[in-house]
Amino acid sequence: MENKLSVFYVTFPDYSSAVNMANLLINNKLAGCCNVIQNVQSIYSWNGKIENSDEVIMIIKTIDDKADDLLKFIENNHKYEVPCILNLNDGKINQSYYEWIKSQVE
């Protein structure tokens, strides 16, 4: 059996929502460690308008066996209508964010 970790990249609107999510993930034993990175500028199209927003990035480390549960938990508890929840190991991403990205580049 191979020991594998999953690393997730998730964006949040502000520091407190990222820290709150990190605490939930740790308390629910879905993640072993979360890094919160502040002062990120995101530029994207939303509802036909170019947005320029301050965001926070969280890097989350967990074991592969918890990856699907972690993705679902974040998706169900995130403030964003369409959150970015990207598993960097295998490229898996929540469906709503994939559909949004796809709609922006077609």
pLDDT in tens, 38-64: 999 999 998 999 999 999 999 999 988
In this prediction the pTM is 0.87
- Over 70: is that where the pLDDT of 73 sits? yes
CATH topology of domain 5-105: Alpha-Beta Plaits (3.30.70)
Which residues, other chains included, contact 98 with Cβ-Cβ below 8 Å and sequence gap of 6+? none
Strands lying side by side in the sheet with 33-46: 33-46, 49-63, 5-12, 85-87
pLDDT at 61: 94
Instruction: Dihedral sign for Cα 6, 93, 15, 80, please.
Output: negative
Measured from the Cβ of residue 9, the count of other Cβ atoms closer than 10 Å reads 15
**2 has a pLDDT exceeding 80:** no
Map residue 2 onto helix, strand or coil.
Answer: coil
d(CA 47, CA 16): 26
pLDDT on residue 98: 86
- In the chain, how long is the greatest CA-to-CA distance? 48
